[in-house]
């Protein structure tokens, strides 16, 4: 299965995402900061990113733009910021999807799998 990078500063949410992904056969790396996320991304064969906006060292929107500049892997925002403006901004910066917390892990999985399938066809 695919290698997914979770960039999330809330350890409980990161653990939920990680556990659910691993239970479904994914390889998972977790970063608690944007800097750590970029380091992991640069060092591994990451096939998708689950990204929070509110990170302690950077804005997730900026990080999305950096990731999109160097890669076309699926990027899914998972964040508490649910305004239409934030969703439009995130998608406009190159994110493939935008999920608002609290979220259903099964829906997250379905969306991730759909984006990975589309990406493999390209």
CB 65 within 8 A of CB 92: no
User: What pLDDT is recorded for position 1?
Assistant: 83
**pLDDT of 38-52, one tens digit each?**
999 997 799 999 999
Q: What end-to-end distance do the CA atoms of the chain give, in Å?
A: 18
User: What pLDDT is recorded for position 97?
Assistant: 98
CB 37 within 8 A of CB 59: no
Architecture label for domain 3-121: 3-Layer(aba) Sandwich (3.40)
With a cut of 50, which residues of the chain have pLDDT below it?
Answer: none
CA 83 to chain centre: 18
Q: Where are the domains of the chain?
A: 3-121
Q: For residue 21, what are its two tokens? A: 């992904």
């Amino acid at each position: 299965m695919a290698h997914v990078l979770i960039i999330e500063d809330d350890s409980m949410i990161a653990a939920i995402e990680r556990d659910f992904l691993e239970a479904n056969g994914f390889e998972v790396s977790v970063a608690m900061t944007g800097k750590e996320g970029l380091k992991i991304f640069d060092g591994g064969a990451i096939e998708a990113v689950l990204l929070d906006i509110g990170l302690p060292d950077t804005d997730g929107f900026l990080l999305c733009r950096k990731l999109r500049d160097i890669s076309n892997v699926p990027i899914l925002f998972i964040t508490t910021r649910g305004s239409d403006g934030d969703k439009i901004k995130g998608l406009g910066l190159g994110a493939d999807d935008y999920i608002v917390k609290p979220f259903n892990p099964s829906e997250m999985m379905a969306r991730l799998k759909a984006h990975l399938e589309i990406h493999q066809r390209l």
